[in-house]
Every structure is written in structure tokens, then in C-alpha cells.
């Protein structure tokens, strides 16, 4: 066995420690060189901006029908107010509120006793007038013979003829009075003026109604067809005429605008309507022109007073540039923008939107054919950033979660 002195042992330990440090430094250099190689191979790890995939479409011109969407209100095609035409007490109500009624159907019964008495009195007056007239005619006839033999004077004969004529006039007067009394008696039976649906009764049994004020008893509305009234600004009309004159739009086949309704759930009303007229004067307060359309309403889905959205077809754009609605980006200051991909870079452009048709919007200005528009992936697509465009495929029955995101620039 060999023994070393304390000084020699310290020297050996120092030598081992030096070799160990050298080995550790060599490993560190190798590790650092390997990491540097990986960073060079991975730009994102080296601090370069990442490249995100986005869904895009290429815009191509296509024929599109041009619509204007305007707020409208439904009105009954016939709206009849049932009012009292004689004074009296309501004896009975003869209908069920909200039911369908026919023209001439009894609705209310007003106490007829005083009017029946008036009819009886007028009939008696007529009978008296007819009796008086008969006597006057006989007297005039008798005097016509006597005057020839000078048995009566000419004056007496003339008076008898005049009395007979007055008696005939009295008959006509009595007949007119009887007719008036019978008419008033008929008014005690309040009937429906039209076919339709009757609403609530505004009076109850025992209520006093008046012909002077025309007490409102009920309302009958005919809604198998309905009107939809809406307004359009003079500016919209001017733009439409200008587009037609310049050839940007062409008239529809019928030469008339087709009118459609959007229901509250966004679906289209199953029946198309037609435009009846366009107002010829402008409302000085709103600067709008009133329009009226008519719609079939067999299922009574449209009720008077209902507010709705009217889609007015005004022409055809043969070279429309359209994008999905979800591609539109709305800024807080009210601008509408699209994000485009040019040379794999994101570019934000302001556009002017037009009509919205079946989930797509026509772009009037700011877009050119073959532009590549981002439809999905807005959260990671920033103007100036690098992206990887992927053709967009619309998911059935749903839209992208990014469809309502606002533009950030």
C-alpha cells in the first residue's frame, strides 16, 4: 500500500477538480451550439412573428338581385268601425269576441221599443192622410160636375181641387215619416258592415249609446289580404334611378318591383306581394315617399299593426361583388372594413356595403375582382401580419365564431 503525504493529496484533488470543470464547460458549449441550431431552424422560437392560417374566398363578379330593406307596418285591407246610429240601451251582444263574422250578421241589439212606437205612429198618420185624401178627391170630383151647371161657384171648385192636391202631398209626407221611423227601428239591430274578424266589444249590455257622438261599439277587420305600408327616402330613389340610367342595374322581367317580407325570426314570408303605388309627393318632415304593397294572408299570420321588414326588389346587378356577411368588420366609428390577403400579408380596406341577400352582402365600393377576403380567423389576423390563406368552406347551419368581431384598425 502506498501512502501520500497531505500536501500530495491536496494536489491530486485539485487536478481532478480541474478536469471536471473542463468537462462541464465542454458539455455546455455543445448544448449551446445545439440550441442555437434549433433556434435557427425555428423562426418563431427565435422571436419571428408566427404565421396563422385564415379562411378566405376570392371575390368574383356574379349576377345578383338588388333589394332595399325598409321598415313597414301591416294594415287591414278593410277596417270597419261599428258605431251606434240611434240612441238607446244595449240589450244584448250577439257575437263572440275575436270570431269571424259575415256581412249583415247581427252584432248588437239596441232596445227597439221607442222606435217601434214611432213606426206605429207614422203608420197611423199615413192611414189618416190616405183617408183625408180619399175624401178630398171625391169632393173635387163632385164639384167638377156641379160647376158645369153653375150649382157651385168656380171658386168653390178650385178650392176642392187644391184640397185634394194637399191631401196627396200629406200622403207622401206620411210615407216618408214612416220610412224614417222604420229605418231607425232597423238601426236597433246593429249588423256587421263587412266580412272579417271582429275584435273586442267596447260596450257592455245595459250601456247607453248615442247616435250624436257615434258610440264606437266594435271593429271588424278583413285580413284575408293585408296592406303593408312603408317609406323610402328620396336619396334612395335617386340612387336607384341613377344606377338604372348608367346601366349598373337592369329592370326585372316584369318591369315592377317584387315585394317580400322578413318575419321576426329572419325567415321570408311564404307569399310574395306586389307594389300597388309609389307616392307622388314627398313628406316635408321626413323627406320620404310613401309606398303601399298588398299581400295574400290566408293563414292570418300578418296582423294589423304588426311591424315588419319589407324587401323591395328593385333591379338586377349583373356584375355584383359579394362577400359573406360574417366577413364584414364594423369599427366603433361606424366604418365597414374587410381584411384582405395580398402576398400573404393582411391588408385592411374600408368598403361601402350594399344590399344583403341570403347571407351575403354586395360591396359597392372598395373591392375589386379576384381580391382574397378573410372570412374566418379574424382574432389572429392583424393588418400587416403574415397569414396562410386556406379556402373557406361554410359549415352547414352555422357561422364562424369570428363573424361578429369588430375591426381593430
Instruction: Tell me what pLDDT residue 163 has.
Output: 93
The more confidently predicted of residues 191 and 407 is 191
pLDDT at 3 over 60: no
Least confident of 13-17, 114-118, 193-197: 13-17
Residue 288: the pLDDT is 86
- Is the pLDDT at 86 greater than 60? The verdict is yes
Taking each helix axis as running N to C, give the angle between helix 154-187 and helix 113-146, from 0 to 180 degrees, rounded to the nearest 10: 160
- Pick the most confident of 146-150, 211-215, 396-400: 211-215
Q: How many CB atoms lie within 10 A of CB 276?
A: 13
- Per-residue pLDDT at 31 exceeds 50: no
Rounded CA gap, 72 and 76, in Å?
13
> Does the structure show a pLDDT above 50 at 308?
yes
Angle, vertex CA 250, rays to CA 61 and CA 245, nearest 5 = 110
The domain defined by 321-391 folds into 2.40.420
- CATH says 66-76+223-319 is which class? mainly beta
Fill in the DSSP letter of residue 42.
-
Which H helix or E strand runs over 375? strand 372-376
Q: Locate cell 248615442: which residue?
A: 210
Q: What is the mean pLDDT of the chain?
A: 82
Neighbour count for residue 376 (Cβ, 10 Å) = 23
Strands (E), 94-215: 100-101, 106-110, 189-191, 196-198, 208-209
Confidence of residue 257 (pLDDT cuts 50, 70, 90): low
Indicate if the pLDDT at residue 101 is higher than 90: yes
113-187 to CATH, choices 1.20.1730.10, 3.40.50.720, 1.10.1740.10, 1.10.287.470: 1.10.287.470
> Worst-scoring range by mean pLDDT, 187-191, 254-258, 394-398?
394-398
Model confidence band, residue 278 (pLDDT cutoffs 50, 70, 90): low
Angle at 395 (CA atoms; ends 394, 398), nearest 5 degrees: 110
Q: Is the pLDDT of residue 365 over 80?
A: yes
In this structure, of 39-43, 208-212, 261-265, 382-386, the range with the lowest mean pLDDT score is: 39-43
- The yes-or-no verdict on residue 396 having pLDDT over 50 is no
The whole-number pLDDT of residue 318 equals 84
Contact status, residue 210 vs residue 84, Cβ threshold 8 Å: yes
pLDDT at 23 over 90: no
All three cell numbers of 48: 419571428
Q: How far is CA 164 from CA 25, 150, 157, 159, 396, in A?
A: 150, 21, 11, 9, 95
Q: Percent of the chain at pLDDT above 70?
A: 79
Banded model confidence at residue 36, pLDDT cuts 50, 70, 90:
very low
Determine which of 52-56, 166-170, 298-302 has the lowest per-residue pLDDT on average: 52-56
Secondary structure class of 33 (helix, strand, coil): helix
386 beta partners? 345
pLDDT score recorded for residue 32: 45
* Residues with Cβ within 8 Å of residue 137, at least 6 apart in sequence: 164, 167
Residue 398 has pLDDT above 90, yes or no: no
Measure the CA–CA gap between 227 and 305, rounded to whole angstroms.
10
Stretch among 55-69, 81-95, 155-169, 173-187 having the lowest mean pLDDT: 55-69
Cα 16 off chain centre by: 93
Instruction: Count the Cβ atoms, other than its own, within 10 Å of residue 392.
Output: 20
Among 36-45, 146-155, 160-169, which range has the highest average pLDDT? 160-169
Phi-psi region of 52 (alpha: psi -120 to 50; beta: other; left: phi over 0): beta
- Predicted confidence band of residue 139 (pLDDT cuts 50, 70, 90): very high
| Percentage of residues of the chain with pLDDT beyond 90 | 43
Indicate whether 30 pLDDT > 50. Answer: no
Amino acid at each position: 500500500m502506498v501512502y501520500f503525504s497531505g500536501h500530495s493529496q491536496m494536489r491530486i484533488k485539485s487536478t481532478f477538480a480541474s478536469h471536471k470543470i473542463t468537462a462541464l464547460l465542454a458539455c455546455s458549449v455543445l448544448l449551446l451550439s445545439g440550441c442555437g441550431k434549433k433556434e435557427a431552424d425555428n423562426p418563431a422560437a427565435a422571436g419571428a412573428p408566427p404565421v396563422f392560417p385564415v379562411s378566405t374566398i376570392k371575390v368574383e363578379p356574379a349576377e345578383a338581385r338588388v333589394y332595399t330593406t325598409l321598415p313597414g307596418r301591416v294594415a287591414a285591407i278593410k277596417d270597419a268601425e261599428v258605431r251606434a246610429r240611434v240612441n238607446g240601451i244595449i240589450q244584448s251582444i250577439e257575437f263572440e269576441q275575436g270570431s269571424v263574422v259575415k256581412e249583415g250578421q247581427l252584432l248588437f241589439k239596441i232596445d227597439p221599443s221607442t222606435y217601434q212606437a214611432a213606426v206605429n205612429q207614422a203608420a197611423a198618420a199615413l192611414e189618416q192622410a190616405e183617408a183625408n185624401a180619399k175624401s178630398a178627391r171625391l169632393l173635387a170630383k163632385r164639384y167638377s160636375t156641379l160647376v158645369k151647371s153653375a150649382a157651385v161657384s168656380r171658386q168653390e171648385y178650385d178650392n176642392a181641387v187644391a184640397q185634394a192636391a194637399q191631401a196627396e202631398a200629406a200622403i207622401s209626407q206620411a210615407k216618408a215619416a214612416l220610412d224614417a221611423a222604420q229605418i231607425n227601428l232597423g238601426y236597433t239591430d246593429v249588423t256587421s258592415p263587412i266580412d272579417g274578424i271582429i275584435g273586442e266589444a267596447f260596450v257592455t249590455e245595459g250601456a247607453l249609446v248615442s247616435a250624436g257622438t257615434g258610440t264606437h261599439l266594435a271593429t271588424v277587420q278583413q285580413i284575408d289580404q293585408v296592406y303593408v305600408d312603408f317609406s323610402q327616402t328620396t336619396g334612395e330613389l335617386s340612387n336607384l334611378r341613377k344606377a338604372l340610367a348608367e346601366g349598373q342595374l337592369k329592370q326585372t322581367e316584369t318591369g315592377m318591383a317584387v315585394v317580400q317580407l322578413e318575419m321576426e325570426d329572419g325567415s321570408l314570408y311564404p307569399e310574395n306581394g306586389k307594389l300597388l303605388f309609389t307616392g307622388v309627393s314627398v313628406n316635408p318632415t321626413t323627406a320620404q315617399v310613401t309606398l303601399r304593397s298588398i299581400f295574400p294572408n290566408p293563414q292570418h299570420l300578418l296582423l294589423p299593426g304588426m311591424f315588419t321588414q319589407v324587401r323591395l326588389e328593385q333591379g338586377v346587378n349583373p356584375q355584383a361583388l359579394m362577400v359573406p356577411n360574417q366577413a364584414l368588420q364594423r369599427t366603433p366609428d361606424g366604418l365597414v372594413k374587410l381584411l384582405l390577403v395580398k402576398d400573404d400579408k393582411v391588408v385592411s380596406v374600408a368598403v361601402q356595403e350594399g344590399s344583403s341577400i341570403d347571407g351575403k352582402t354586395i360591396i359597392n365600393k372598395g373591392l375589386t375582382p379576384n381580391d382574397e377576403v378573410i372570412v374566418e380567423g379574424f382574432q389572429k389576423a392583424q393588418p400587416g401580419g403574415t397569414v396562410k390563406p386556406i379556402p373557406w368552406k361554410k359549415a352547414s347551419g352555422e357561422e364562424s365564431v369570428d363573424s361578429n368581431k369588430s375591426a381593430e384598425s
